[in-house]
Amino acid sequence: MIDTDSLTITEARKLLGAGTITSSELTQVYLEEIERENGELNAFIEIYEDALDSAAIADKSNGSGVLHGIPMGIKDNILIEGKHASSGSKILKDYVASYDAHVITELKKAGALFIGRTNMDEFGMGSSTESSHYGPTKNPVDPTRVPGGSSGGSAAAVASGMVPVALGSDTGGSSRQPASFCGIVGFKPTYGTVSRRGLMALASSLDQVGVLAKTCNDANLVYTVISTEDQFDATNIPMSERATTKKEIKKVGVLRNFVASQNIDASVKDAYEKFLNELEAAGHELVEIDTQLFVDAISVYYIILPCEASSNLARYDGVRFGLREDYVDLLEQYVYTRASGFGDEVVRRILLGTFSLSAGYKDAYYGKANAKRQEITATFRKLFAEQVDAIVTPTAPTPAFKIGGISSALEMYMQDLFTLPINIAGVPCVSIPYTHDEAGLPIGMQIIGDYFSDHTILDFGTKFEKLTPFKQS
Ligand code: GLN
């Protein structure tokens, strides 16, 4: 009897390797779990009819890839040839991908198969998965609450045992904050180590594919598979330029005073203290770091992201992709297609971005945000060069909140307090499941590393992750 709530890729690979179970049987077990749970949770917005066929092919082919025969969930903004991908938006509801994303090609080569696509905030804008065209996803720990976002579908799918691992994306925290809310691992790689080709662009200079997994080890496995070089993504860093000096983590940067003084949930403050004490007990030296970058990051991000998004989303004009509303002339067609295809948050950010990039305002907003971005990046470089080997923070300022519980956009943006600086600088970061509040809601902690220390922070995370099965049922 397989317990999908706790089965890791590593364990599944052992069972498959020993012939205890076939990929078809394993996939069937997950499909049954989906059948039982997805009606309520809405983590998957489509289950692929050919999942079992792919499993049967894996069984026949006897391959040796590290993910051979392992079923996965894929966020709705990552392209799989011949499958729908819509970024959770009405404007792309009928769009079918014409090619495989680089990460999909690599996963296929490693033998993985895809069970379905997972729900998300529209175009990745949000922290709750409530802005999806397909309705909200619910948190498996407490279905009256959100799973976080924007990769909430992937997080809920992994946490509820519908799939052992899933891909998400992370532009400002979208893989880590949902992982924290659902009690699993969420990993955001060093910018440029995972190809963005075939990941629908939100803000190209911040976007990376992320991994949602049960353990840091599983995330590490998947990261190794997807982080190959890709000459078709101009921002992908050649292997020869990825520094690999594996430094042991001794000194850990902390935000003790900042966390204590901020308006964040008491359970998160307590959890952070507990984590710092555990780190100290394990022999790590804790170093208080300058916290100005966390204060600046929100303003910087909410200028840069809308600017890049307004440009990236200009391609959805009713001519080339997805939805087309028919009106008398071309201009009306653009206007009505976009007005009917985009949701409120997307419209808000397009307006903000277009304004910030307009003549007369570009220097005052976009220019200034970019200058601040350079400062934030320089601060991280200096910290890692001179003071610390890693930095730890809570992942989110609260545990999972109620569906409908946050109605103001600004309050929603505060969810990103700890996650944004990482994307702004492009460093790697993992959220590990650490503890829970009195109501049993999961609380995650973030481990931030220097550029290219992805494997090191994941190894470090292994020592501190608490793999409590958080799901209530
Ligand atoms: N919550 C952030 C936002 O709304 C992060 C999104 C993301 O990483 N895709 O932009």
Pocket test for ligand 1, best of 76, 78, 119, 125 (most atoms within 8 A of CB): 125
pLDDT attached to residue 247: 79
Q: Select which of 23, 89, 127, 150 is catalytic.
A: 150
What is the rounded (10 degree) CA torsion for 205, 409, 120, 416? Answer: 50
Per-residue pLDDT of 277-302, as tens digits, reads 999 999 999 999 999 999 999 999 99
Q: Which residues pair with 74 in a beta bridge?
A: 117, 167
How many A from CA of 282 to the centre of ligand 1?
33
Instruction: Quote the percentage of the chain above a pLDDT of 90.
Output: 94
Q: Which residue owns the Cα nearest ligand 1 atom 4?
A: 126
d(C-alpha 108, C-alpha 117), whole Å:
16
Report which ligand 1 atom has the smallest distance to the Cα of 170. 8
pLDDT attached to residue 1: 76
Report which ligand 1 atom has the smallest distance to the Cα of 301. 10
Q: Is the pLDDT of residue 336 over 50?
A: yes
Lowest mean pLDDT among 180-189, 242-251, 363-372: 242-251
Nearest residue to 449 via CA among 277, 275, 246: 246
Q: Select which of 24, 89, 174, 180 is catalytic.
A: 174
Nearest residue to 7 via CA among 30, 41, 24, 28: 30
How many A from CA of 306 to the centre of ligand 1?
11
How many A from CA of 208 to the centre of ligand 1?
12
Pocket test for ligand 1, best of 398, 415, 416 (most atoms within 8 A of CB): 416
**Averaged pLDDT, 176-186:** 98
Our CA angle for 123, 147, 2, nearest 5°, is 115
How many A from CA of 250 to the centre of ligand 1?
31
Q: Tell me if residue 75 is catalytic.
A: yes
DSSP annotation of 201: P
d(C-alpha 397, C-alpha 268), whole Å:
7
d(C-alpha 391, C-alpha 445), whole Å:
11
**Averaged pLDDT, 237-250:** 88
Report CA-CA distances (Å) from 341 to 77, 311, 344, 345: 16, 16, 10, 12
How many A from CA of 18 to the centre of ligand 1?
41
**Averaged pLDDT, 29-50:** 98
d(C-alpha 334, C-alpha 179), whole Å:
37
Q: Tell me if residue 174 is catalytic.
A: yes
pLDDT attached to residue 63: 87
**Averaged pLDDT, 424-438:** 97
**Averaged pLDDT, 240-249:** 84
Q: Are 44 and 162 in contact (CB under 8 A)?
A: yes
Q: Is the pLDDT of residue 471 over 60?
A: no
Q: Is the pLDDT of residue 473 over 90?
A: no
Q: Token pair for residue 46? A: 């489509």
CB-neighbour burial class of residue 133 (10 A; exposed 0-12, middle 13-18, buried 19+): buried
Q: Is the pLDDT of residue 151 over 70?
A: yes
The stretches of 183-265 forming alpha helices (DSSP H) are 216-226, 256-261
Q: Tell me if residue 150 is catalytic.
A: yes
Confidence of residue 133 (pLDDT cuts 50, 70, 90): very high
pLDDT attached to residue 328: 85
Q: Which residues pair with 286 in a beta bridge?
A: 252
Length of the chain: 473
Report which ligand 1 atom has the smallest distance to the Cα of 416. 1
Q: What single-letter amino acid sits at 441? A: L
Phi, psi of 113 (to 5 degrees): -130, 160
pLDDT attached to residue 469: 61
The neighbour count for residue 339, using CB atoms within 10 Å, is 10
The pLDDT mean for the chain works out to 96
Per-residue pLDDT of 46-105, as tens digits, reads 999 999 999 999 999 978 899 999 999 999 999 999 999 999 999 999 999 999 999 999
Q: Is the pLDDT of residue 152 over 70?
A: yes
The neighbour count for residue 59, using CB atoms within 10 Å, is 18
Q: Is the pLDDT of residue 472 over 70?
A: no
Buried b (16+ CB within 10 A) or exposed e, 272-296: beebbeebeeeebebeebebebbeb
Q: Select which of 23, 54, 75, 90 is catalytic.
A: 75
How many A from CA of 104 to the centre of ligand 1?
22
pLDDT attached to residue 246: 67
Q: Is the pLDDT of residue 326 over 60?
A: yes
Pocket test for ligand 1, best of 301, 305, 348 (most atoms within 8 A of CB): 305
The DSSP code sequence of 39-97 is HHH--EEEE-TTHHHHHHHHHHH----TTTT-EEEEETTB--TTSB--TT-GGGTT-B-
Report which ligand 1 atom has the smallest distance to the Cα of 305. 10
Per-residue pLDDT of 396-423, as tens digits, reads 999 999 999 998 999 999 999 999 999 9
Nearest residue to 338 via CA among 355, 361, 320: 320
How many A from CA of 425 to the centre of ligand 1?
15
Q: Which residues lie with the beta carbon below 6 Å from any ligand 1 atom?
A: 124-127, 150, 169-174, 202, 305, 416
